[in-house]
């Protein structure tokens, strides 16, 4: 069987449906479980924490950017599922010479929905994948119908240095879905940096109404809110669930519930 992945590569699969699958992407690992492939997943990363009930016993093959290639080889997978942003290009190029590797490339919500369906196709779980895709679409439509705010928002993913989510990111699309205006859209103008570094003076200049501090990849806590409040007393600074903003796949089923909780913490638009 031959499939085309989201990076445009042909993926030749001698074994179909695949019986031994390795996932290098946390959000896509969760999707594999959710479409009924628990028994076929032979390896996953240390960051593939969902479903929680299966994480401890799962065989780990390193981190998303620190893969243990020898462990992967020892598992002799029929299929490896990777991501253009999450995994290192050099690791994927090595693995592609030895195993079928299907690569996702996701910046938009539409690409995420496409990924769900395509993974269903390459694993012979099309009906299960379509059910999740349809349910996600319904959830998204409920968010769109209820959003009311257009708050000038900065989403920080890292500290020392501060790094923010730019506009050409999946995070930006979820912000837009929630009615949050990524203030880097105007500040960066033609700068296409996906995750720009910012110092405190630059953040003051941007003057966001809302600052979202992500739980991943940097684990922001209340103490970081307190630190920023000293410099930005007029900004509403909130801890954000990074999974809700950056995990594409079946985690999106929880977006509507999360949005309802998040909007209770947002300031009233002036």
Q: What is the pLDDT of residues 48-85, one digit of tens each?
A: 999 999 999 999 999 999 999 999 999 999 999 999 99
Residue 269 lies in a domain: no
CA distance 23 to 34: 13
The last residue of a domain, from among 94, 123, 140: 140
Residue 48 lies in a domain: yes
At 209 the pLDDT is: 94
The angle subtended at Cα 39 by Cα 37 and Cα 40, nearest 5°, is 65
Task: Give the pLDDT band of residue 170 (cuts 50, 70, 90).
Answer: very high
CA distance 67 to 39: 22
Residue 259 lies in a domain: yes
Residues 28, 58: one domain? yes
Read off the CATH number of the domain in which 75 is found: 3.40.50.1980
At 268 the pLDDT is: 75
At 185 the pLDDT is: 84
* Residue 201: domain span: 148-263
CA distance 16 to 205: 55
- Percent of the chain scoring above 90 in pLDDT: 89
Residue 26 lies in a domain: yes
Mean pLDDT of the chain: 94
At 172 the pLDDT is: 95
Q: What is the pLDDT of residues 179-220, one digit of tens each?
A: 999 999 877 665 567 899 999 999 999 999 999 999 999 999
DSSP assignment, residue 268? Answer: P
Whether residue 115 is predicted with pLDDT greater than 60 in this model: the reply is yes
Q: How many domains does the chain have?
A: 2
At 194 the pLDDT is: 86
Residue 270 lies in a domain: no
CA distance 155 to 238: 10
Whether residue 261 is predicted with pLDDT greater than 70 in this model: the reply is yes
The last residue of a domain, from among 109, 140, 171: 140
Q: What is the pTM of this model?
A: 0.93
Whether residue 26 is predicted with pLDDT greater than 70 in this model: the reply is yes
Task: Give the pLDDT band of residue 13 (cuts 50, 70, 90).
Answer: very high
Mean pLDDT over residues 119-138, rounded? 98
Task: Give the pLDDT band of residue 269 (cuts 50, 70, 90).
Answer: low
The last residue of a domain, from among 140, 172, 207: 140
Residues 165, 43: one domain? no
Residues 200, 116: one domain? no
Q: What residues contact 145, with CB distance under 8 A and at least 6 apart? A: none
């Amino acid at each position: 069987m031959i499939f085309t992945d989201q990076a445009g590569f042909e993926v030749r699969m001698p074994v179909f449906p695949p019986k031994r699958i390795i996932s290098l992407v946390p959000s896509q690992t969760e999707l594999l479980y959710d479409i009924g492939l628990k028994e076929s997943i032979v390896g996953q990363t240390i960051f593939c924490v969902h479903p929680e009930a299966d994480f401890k016993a799962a065989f780990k093959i390193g981190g998303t950017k620190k893969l243990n290639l020898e462990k992967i080889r020892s598992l002799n997978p029929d299929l490896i599922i990777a991501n253009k942003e999450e995994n290192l290009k050099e690791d994927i190029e090595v693995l592609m010479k030895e195993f079928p590797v299907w690569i996702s490339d996701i910046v938009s919500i539409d690409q995420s929905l496409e990924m769900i369906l395509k993974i269903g196709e390459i694993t012979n779980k099309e009906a299960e994948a379509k059910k999740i895709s349809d349910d996600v679409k319904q959830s998204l439509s409920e968010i769109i119908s209820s959003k009311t705010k257009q708050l000038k928002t900065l989403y920080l993913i890292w500290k020392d240095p501060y790094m923010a989510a730019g506009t050409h990111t999946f995070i930006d699309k979820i912000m837009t879905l929630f009615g949050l205006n990524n203030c880097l859209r105007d500040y960066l103008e033609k700068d296409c940096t996906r995750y720009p570094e910012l110092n405190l003076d630059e953040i003051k200049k941007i003057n966001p109404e809302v600052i979202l501090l992500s739980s991943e990849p940097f684990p922001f806590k209340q103490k970081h809110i307190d630190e920023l409040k000293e410099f930005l007393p007029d900004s509403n600074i909130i801890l954000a669930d990074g999974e809700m903003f950056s995990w594409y796949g079946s985690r999106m089923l929880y977006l509507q519930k999360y949005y309802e909780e998040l909007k209770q913490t947002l300031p009233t638009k002036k």
